[in-house]
Protein backbone atom coordinates (compact mmCIF):
# COMPACT_ATOMS: atom_id res chain seq x y z
CA UNK A 1 0.00 0.00 0.00
CA UNK A 2 1.07 3.53 -0.75
CA UNK A 3 -0.13 6.76 0.86
CA UNK A 4 0.16 9.91 -1.21
CA UNK A 5 -1.62 13.19 -1.86
CA UNK A 6 -4.86 12.90 -3.81
CA UNK A 7 -5.59 15.28 -6.65
CA UNK A 8 -8.83 16.59 -8.07
CA UNK A 9 -8.45 13.87 -10.75
CA UNK A 10 -9.16 11.33 -7.98
CA UNK A 11 -12.59 12.82 -7.13
CA UNK A 12 -14.57 10.35 -9.32
CA UNK A 13 -13.08 7.49 -7.28
CA UNK A 14 -13.01 9.21 -3.87
CA UNK A 15 -16.71 10.21 -3.79
CA UNK A 16 -18.14 6.68 -4.12
CA UNK A 17 -15.44 5.32 -1.78
CA UNK A 18 -16.32 7.84 0.95
CA UNK A 19 -20.05 7.34 0.50
CA UNK A 20 -19.68 3.54 0.58
CA UNK A 21 -17.86 3.67 3.92
CA UNK A 22 -20.38 5.91 5.70
CA UNK A 23 -23.82 5.60 4.12
CA UNK A 24 -26.16 3.17 2.42
CA UNK A 25 -26.19 -0.61 2.39
CA UNK A 26 -22.58 -0.95 1.25
CA UNK A 27 -21.41 0.78 4.44
CA UNK A 28 -22.95 -1.97 6.57
CA UNK A 29 -20.13 -4.31 5.46
CA UNK A 30 -17.75 -2.25 7.61
CA UNK A 31 -17.92 -0.88 11.12
CA UNK A 32 -17.72 2.84 10.25
CA UNK A 33 -21.27 3.08 8.92
CA UNK A 34 -23.45 6.02 9.85
CA UNK A 35 -26.43 4.52 7.99
CA UNK A 36 -28.50 4.07 11.16
CA UNK A 37 -27.68 7.56 12.44
CA UNK A 38 -28.18 9.65 9.31
CA UNK A 39 -30.74 9.00 6.59
CA UNK A 40 -29.57 9.39 3.01
CA UNK A 41 -26.93 7.82 0.82
CA UNK A 42 -24.49 10.73 0.52
CA UNK A 43 -21.64 11.69 2.84
CA UNK A 44 -20.24 13.95 0.14
CA UNK A 45 -20.57 14.72 -3.56
CA UNK A 46 -18.15 15.77 -6.30
CA UNK A 47 -18.77 19.56 -6.11
CA UNK A 48 -18.39 19.57 -2.31
CA UNK A 49 -15.24 17.46 -2.42
CA UNK A 50 -13.74 19.73 -5.09
CA UNK A 51 -14.52 22.79 -2.96
CA UNK A 52 -13.02 21.07 0.09
CA UNK A 53 -9.83 20.10 -1.74
CA UNK A 54 -9.36 23.63 -3.08
CA UNK A 55 -9.42 25.29 0.36
CA UNK A 56 -6.08 26.84 1.35
CA UNK A 57 -4.20 24.41 3.60
CA UNK A 58 -6.34 21.42 2.57
CA UNK A 59 -5.05 18.00 1.60
CA UNK A 60 -6.58 14.61 1.04
CA UNK A 61 -4.22 11.70 1.48
CA UNK A 62 -5.15 8.55 -0.39
CA UNK A 63 -4.16 4.98 0.30
CA UNK A 64 -3.63 2.97 -2.87
CA UNK A 65 -3.39 -0.81 -3.08
CA UNK A 66 -0.56 -2.60 -4.87
CA UNK A 67 -2.96 -2.91 -7.81
CA UNK A 68 -3.36 0.89 -7.99
CA UNK A 69 -6.88 1.01 -6.50
CA UNK A 70 -7.70 3.78 -4.00
CA UNK A 71 -8.86 1.92 -0.87
CA UNK A 72 -8.80 4.69 1.73
CA UNK A 73 -8.38 8.40 2.30
CA UNK A 74 -8.35 11.11 4.93
CA UNK A 75 -9.08 14.84 4.71
CA UNK A 76 -6.65 17.21 6.45
CA UNK A 77 -7.07 20.96 6.86
CA UNK A 78 -4.37 23.17 8.35
CA UNK A 79 -5.99 25.72 10.63
CA UNK A 80 -4.67 28.26 13.10
CA UNK A 81 -4.79 25.92 16.09
CA UNK A 82 -3.53 22.82 14.30
CA UNK A 83 -4.58 20.19 11.80
CA UNK A 84 -8.23 19.25 11.38
CA UNK A 85 -8.79 15.61 10.45
CA UNK A 86 -12.00 14.45 8.78
CA UNK A 87 -13.52 11.87 6.45
CA UNK A 88 -11.15 9.08 7.47
CA UNK A 89 -12.32 6.45 5.00
CA UNK A 90 -11.47 2.82 4.36
CA UNK A 91 -13.29 0.63 1.88
CA UNK A 92 -15.87 -1.35 3.92
CA UNK A 93 -14.54 -4.69 2.62
CA UNK A 94 -11.04 -3.84 3.85
CA UNK A 95 -11.79 -2.34 7.26
CA UNK A 96 -9.94 -3.77 10.29
CA UNK A 97 -6.83 -4.46 8.14
CA UNK A 98 -4.73 -1.56 9.50
CA UNK A 99 -5.40 0.89 6.66
CA UNK A 100 -7.05 3.46 8.94
CA UNK A 101 -4.12 3.20 11.35
CA UNK A 102 -1.70 3.88 8.47
CA UNK A 103 -3.74 6.91 7.37
CA UNK A 104 -3.66 8.26 10.96
CA UNK A 105 0.12 7.82 11.02
CA UNK A 106 0.39 9.70 7.72
CA UNK A 107 -1.79 12.47 9.18
CA UNK A 108 0.62 12.78 12.13
CA UNK A 109 3.56 13.11 9.72
CA UNK A 110 1.60 15.72 7.74
CA UNK A 111 0.94 17.63 10.99
CA UNK A 112 4.66 17.64 11.87
CA UNK A 113 5.65 18.74 8.36
CA UNK A 114 3.19 21.63 8.63
CA UNK A 115 4.15 22.68 12.19
CA UNK A 116 0.75 21.73 13.62
CA UNK A 117 1.00 21.07 17.37
CA UNK A 118 -2.32 19.24 17.53
CA UNK A 119 -4.64 17.16 15.34
CA UNK A 120 -8.32 17.66 16.13
CA UNK A 121 -11.62 16.28 14.88
CA UNK A 122 -15.30 15.85 15.60
CA UNK A 123 -16.79 12.37 15.98
CA UNK A 124 -20.51 11.76 16.24
CA UNK A 125 -20.97 11.38 20.00
CA UNK A 126 -23.08 8.22 19.59
CA UNK A 127 -20.19 6.42 17.85
CA UNK A 128 -18.71 4.97 21.05
CA UNK A 129 -16.75 2.23 19.24
CA UNK A 130 -15.17 4.80 16.92
CA UNK A 131 -14.30 7.13 19.79
CA UNK A 132 -12.65 4.19 21.57
CA UNK A 133 -10.68 3.37 18.38
CA UNK A 134 -9.36 6.93 18.17
CA UNK A 135 -8.48 6.82 21.88
CA UNK A 136 -6.42 3.68 21.25
CA UNK A 137 -4.52 5.72 18.65
CA UNK A 138 -3.60 8.59 20.99
CA UNK A 139 -6.62 10.89 20.65
CA UNK A 140 -8.64 12.03 23.66
CA UNK A 141 -12.03 13.59 24.20
CA UNK A 142 -11.76 17.28 25.04
CA UNK A 143 -15.10 17.43 26.86
CA UNK A 144 -16.35 19.88 24.24
CA UNK A 145 -19.10 19.26 21.72
CA UNK A 146 -20.28 20.90 18.53
CA UNK A 147 -23.68 20.64 16.81
CA UNK A 148 -24.00 18.82 13.51
CA UNK A 149 -24.30 21.20 10.55
CA UNK A 150 -27.86 22.17 9.73
CA UNK A 151 -27.40 20.96 6.16
CA UNK A 152 -29.58 18.01 5.25
CA UNK A 153 -28.02 17.51 1.81
CA UNK A 154 -25.70 14.91 3.30
CA UNK A 155 -27.92 13.21 5.84
CA UNK A 156 -30.84 13.74 8.14
CA UNK A 157 -30.21 12.71 11.75
CA UNK A 158 -32.46 9.90 12.96
CA UNK A 159 -32.05 11.02 16.59
CA UNK A 160 -30.52 13.90 18.54
CA UNK A 161 -26.73 13.88 18.25
CA UNK A 162 -23.69 16.12 18.21
CA UNK A 163 -19.99 15.94 17.53
CA UNK A 164 -17.71 15.04 20.41
CA UNK A 165 -14.45 16.92 19.90
CA UNK A 166 -11.22 14.92 20.09
CA UNK A 167 -7.59 15.85 19.72
CA UNK A 168 -4.08 14.48 19.81
CA UNK A 169 -0.96 16.50 20.63
CA UNK A 170 1.88 16.26 18.11
CA UNK A 171 5.53 16.54 19.05
CA UNK A 172 7.14 18.97 16.65
Write down the pTM of the prediction.
0.93
Q: What is the pLDDT of residues 72-113, one digit of tens each?
A: 999 999 999 999 999 999 999 999 899 999 999 999 999 999
* Strand 82-90 to 118-124 pairing: parallel
**98-127 burial, b if ≥16 CB within 10 A, otherwise e?**
ebbebbbebbbebbeeeebeebbbbbbbbb
Query: What CATH number was assigned to the domain covering residues 2-120?
Result: 3.40.630.30
Between 3 and 153, the more confident residue is 3
Q: What is the pLDDT of residues 2-52, one digit of tens each?
A: 999 999 999 999 999 999 998 877 778 877 788 788 887 788 999 999 999
Predicted local distance difference test score (pLDDT) of residue 42? 86
For residues 124 and 35, what is the distance between their CA atoms, to the nearest angstrom? 12
Listed by start position, the domains of the chain span: 2-120
Amino acid sequence: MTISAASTNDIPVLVPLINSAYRGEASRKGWTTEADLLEGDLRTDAPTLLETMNKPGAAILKCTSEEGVIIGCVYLQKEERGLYLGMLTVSPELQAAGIGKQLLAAASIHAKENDCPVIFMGVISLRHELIAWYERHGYHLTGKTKPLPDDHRFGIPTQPMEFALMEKPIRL
